[in-house]
Structure 1
């Protein structure tokens, strides 16, 4: 007997809303295959590949898929990033969630030759969102949605990019890469909360750098520049 619908986090539910109906998607770092199972339970035409690099999460993902009777629609594979794909695969959407933006950038960069599969990429970096944006734009994707949610005391950014093979990278200022172009415009209360916290953290680090015996002038200049951008968007005097 199949189990009832899988309960998942608000973060994963929000990511799921950006997948198209009937999606065939790859979920990299699938974390027990919760997202693929949830999507396939609610969309009976959806299919997924759940990729895991470590054996423990890989076997946990297989167990989850079997538990919910979805083995015919979700293929759980062991491998590093996009390396789980075969030549015969044709998923058209990609999710990389729950890891740092620098690692997301590395995964996308290393597997760039396979990205012709994907019309849409959805990323949810836990930190270093700027690196994730840079990777998407360099690969010719256009960022179409930026969304903030708060769960368990942490504010997450969900970034959605569609393949248009554009030169959007040329149009993005450093400030936009850091703060998010749409997020700055919308100024959601979570955006204000996040960047007030980030401002305090950066100001504290800058103060420590200024007191250090050996000063890194380049790094201090970068922090001062970023603080000025944050102050500008928060309307600090």
Structure 2
């Protein structure tokens, strides 16, 4: 059986067993091949826009003897999918903004009809993905953060839910951060950015990711210190405030905090 990277294995583990899965931006079709080989998915669709990866995916499915159950298709985003063909859609390895563009285009075209589960791994811009899910009736049921080869990745699993508005209102309620109710909107924004499940069940990896982000921001502030222009001073103040807010959130979520779920 194909061996996956830690990142791809984390995605695979969140696909509900028995789900017909469409992997969008499949590259070499590593995930679809693994899902079918392991018996987790009875069939899969591997979608890829660019010719090189599309050919590589076709070769991978054929080499594994799975061409009959893995359909490799070339096209843009969810355009490769027909309504009702998949139970789960996985998208990984791209920015959150692009990912939401793909999801939205697919939604408007009816390509998400029949899809009940999304497993998403944005490289950056996770906030955009979380906001899209909330806006369109998806409930974030699970998220995890991992480190691999010096990079941090977040994997999000969401399900389509008729009660998503109620579930999401509770999920993004920042009361557990012990902040004043008058500042609720501010801290809710940080839940979208840092992850509501991740903050409720904090891990050392989560803290490592955001300590690294603080370090980046501090270096930017240090570089700006030599400029006396009003714009530079304003931007420096913004970055300092961002650093302070990240530190406040992390202080509210120590890694030894008992799980609230």
Q: Please, what TM-score do these two structures have when normalized by structure 2?
A: 0.81
Closer, same or farther: CA 139–208 of 1 in aligned 2, 3 Å: farther
| Superposed counterparts of 1:66-77, under 5 Å | 66-77=62-73
Matching of residues 74-89 of structure 1 within 5 Å: 74-87=70-83, 89=84
Note closer, same or farther for the CA distance 1:117–1:230 as it changes in structure 2 (3 Å cut).
same
Q: Distance in 2 between matches of 1:187 and 1:125?
A: 19
Partner residue of 1:179?
A: 194
Query: Could you say if the C-alpha distance between residues 17 and 45 of structure 1 is closer, same or farther in structure 2, counting changes exceeding 3 Å?
Result: closer
How far the C-alpha of 1:228 sits from its partner, in A, is: 2.7
After alignment, is 36-45 or 188-197 more displaced?
Answer: 36-45
Once residues 218 and 158 of structure 1 are traced to their aligned partners in structure 2, the CA distance between those partners, rounded to angstroms, is 34
Alignment of 1:137 onto 2:134: yes
Alignment check: 8 A CA contact 1:27 1:96 kept: yes
Task: Please say if 1:229 is aligned against 2:245.
Answer: yes
Does the Cα contact within 8 Å between 1:112 and 1:139 map onto a contact in 2? Answer: no
- Other-structure match for 1:124: 121
Task: Specify the alignment match of 1:57 in structure 2.
Answer: 53
Unaligned runs of 5+ in 1: none
Unaligned runs of 5+ in 2: 173-187, 253-261
Q: 162-171 or 11-20: which moved more?
A: 162-171
Q: 1:232 to 1:139 in 2, by over 3 A?
A: same
**Which segment is superposed worse, 143-152 or 170-179?**
170-179
The aligned residue for residue 32 of structure 2 is: 36
Verify the 8 A CA contact 2:28 2:54 in the aligned structure 1: yes
Contact 1:209 1:215 in 2 (8 A): no
- Return the match for 2:93 from 98, 102, 115: 98
Q: Residue 204 of structure 1: CA displacement?
A: 2.6
Work out whether residues 27 and 94 of structure 1, in 8 Å CA contact, stay in contact via their aligned partners in 2: yes
Secondary structure at the residue paired with 2:113? helix
Tell me the number of residue pairs that the alignment of Structure 1 and Structure 2 aligns. 231
Separation in 2 of the partners of 1:110 and 1:219? 34
Q: Distance in 1 between matches of 2:234 and 2:160?
A: 35
The 8 Å contact of residues 134 and 169 in structure 1, kept in 2 or not, is answered as no
* CA shift for structure 1 position 116: 3.0
CA RMSD of aligned residues (A): 2.2
- What does residue 161 of structure 1 align with? 158
